[in-house]
């Protein structure tokens, strides 16, 4: 990196660092780069099949090398940015969950190798005038690459959605963590449940107010004024923003104590 702990050594780099700070972080770049490969590889496979079947005429013959080129560029970009995310994953995937990272890594290499084989085949078949010289191998190759891309996308998605690889600063969940610790400290200090619950509900606490309205009057989320059952809360939020392991029943009870002080308005009573 250009910046050390004591700040930029070269003042003229300041504007550049400003630009870099505004840039998406590495995982976002990997997500963006992979899209090219994800689109171009199946497209190339389709064009390749169509041409070999002798259909599509000059348009398909002309389009195929572009799709192939885009596939190879997409694979190279995915690989380069993927190596950067690899570093992030080292400190994100707990214990043996790194197996997912390993499979994702080697599958990426396998897809790249198969794509290069397909490129080689394309080049040779062009030189031979597009004859069906390997009618079995090439379809298998193309299907393998496309299946590989789908599995690869699934594994990459799991690394992010289940294990949180590349979720910058903990994403929205960071507010859940800080909001809950503020609430628990307030309760432990003897603050009344209604006062602590009101604080937790606000935009500065757990942030319920940002969706349910400052007075729980309903915004893009339904009104909660008058109180709600904890099961309603769990049904909607426990596998999302507010896991049970973080927001306890006692935490919700404090919020509900405050909700009960509010006059119910809107559709629900």
Q: Which is nearer to ligand HEC, 50 or 236 (CB)?
A: 236
Integer Cα distance of 175 and 195 in angstroms? 19
221 lines the binding site for ligand HEC (CB under 6 A):
yes
Closest separation in Å from C-beta 196 to ligand HEC: 13
173 lines the binding site for ligand HEC (CB under 6 A):
no
Tokens describing residue 72:
């190879």
Contact region with ligand HEC (CB under 6 A), list: 68-76, 88-96, 114-122, 222-230: 222-230
Block residue for tokens 């909607």: 236
Tokens describing residue 145:
């690459």
Closest separation in Å from C-beta 201 to ligand HEC: 6
Closest separation in Å from C-beta 212 to ligand HEC: 6
Q: Is the distance from CB of 200 to CB of 176 less than 8 angstroms?
A: no
Contact region with ligand HEC (CB under 6 A), list: 1-9, 73-81, 158-166, 234-242: 234-242
In the chain, which ranges are continuous DSSP H helix? Answer: 14-22, 26-52, 57-90, 98-127, 137-161, 173-188, 193-201, 209-212, 230-237, 249-260
Q: Which is nearer to ligand HEC, 166 or 207 (CB)?
A: 207
What three-state secondary structure class fits 102?
Answer: helix
Closest separation in Å from C-beta 190 to ligand HEC: 22
- Selected from 137, 211, 250, 253, the binder of ligand HEC by CB under 6 A is 211
Q: How wide is the angle at C-alpha 238 spanned by C-alphas 234 and 239, nearest 5°?
A: 140
Q: Which is nearer to ligand HEC, 153 or 222 (CB)?
A: 222
SS (H, E, C) 126-185: HHCCCCCCCCCHHHHHHHHHHHHHHHHHHHHHHHHHCCCCCCHHHCCHHHHHHHHHHHHH
Site string for ligand HEC, 188-207 (x = CB under 6 A): ------------------xx
Contact region with ligand HEC (CB under 6 A), list: 30-38, 115-123, 188-196, 229-237: 229-237
- Count residues binding ligand HEC (CB under 6 A): 17
- Selected from 75, 208, 225, 254, the binder of ligand HEC by CB under 6 A is 208
27: closest CA among 182, 156, 121, 210?
156
Task: Please state, as a whole number, how many other Cβ atoms lie within 10 Å of the Cβ of residue 162.
Answer: 10
249-268 positions binding ligand HEC, by CB under 6 A: 255
Sign of CA dihedral 51, 54, 55, 60: positive
Give the bridge partners for 7, in sequence order: 4
- Selected from 74, 75, 165, 233, the binder of ligand HEC by CB under 6 A is 233
Q: What is the contact surface with ligand HEC in residues (CB under 6 A)?
A: 206-208, 210-212, 221-222, 224, 228, 232-233, 236-237, 241-242, 255
């Amino acid at each position: 990196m250009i910046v050390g702990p004591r700040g930029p050594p070269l003042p003229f780099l300041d504007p550049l660092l400003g630009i870099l700070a505004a840039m998406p972080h590495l995982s976002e770049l990997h997500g963006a780069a992979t899209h090219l490969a994800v689109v171009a590889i199946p497209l190339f496979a389709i064009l390749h099949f169509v041409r070999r079947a002798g259909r599509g005429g000059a348009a398909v013959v002309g389009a195929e090398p572009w799709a192939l080129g885009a596939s190879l560029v997409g694979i190279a970009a995915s690989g380069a940015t993927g190596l950067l995310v690899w570093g992030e994953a080292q400190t994100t995937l707990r214990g043996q969950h790194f197996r997912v990272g390993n499979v994702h890594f080697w599958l990426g290499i396998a897809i790249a190798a198969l794509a290069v084989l397909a490129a080689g085949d394309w080049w040779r078949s062009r030189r031979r005038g597009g004859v069906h010289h390997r009618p079995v191998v090439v379809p298998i190759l193309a299907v393998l690459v496309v299946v590989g891309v789908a599995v690869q996308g699934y594994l990459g998605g799991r690394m992010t959605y289940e294990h949180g690889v590349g979720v910058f600063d903990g994403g929205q969940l960071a507010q859940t963590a800080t909001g809950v610790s503020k609430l628990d400290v307030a309760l432990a200090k003897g603050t009344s449940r209604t006062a602590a619950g009101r604080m937790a509900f606000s935009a500065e606490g757990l942030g319920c107010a940002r969706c349910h309205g400052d007075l729980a009057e309903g915004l893009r989320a339904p009104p909660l004024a008058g109180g709600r059952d904890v099961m309603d809360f769990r049904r909607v939020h426990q596998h999302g923003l507010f896991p049970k392991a973080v927001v306890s029943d006692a935490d919700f009870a404090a919020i509900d104590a405050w909700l009960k002080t509010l006059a119910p308005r809107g559709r629900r009573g």
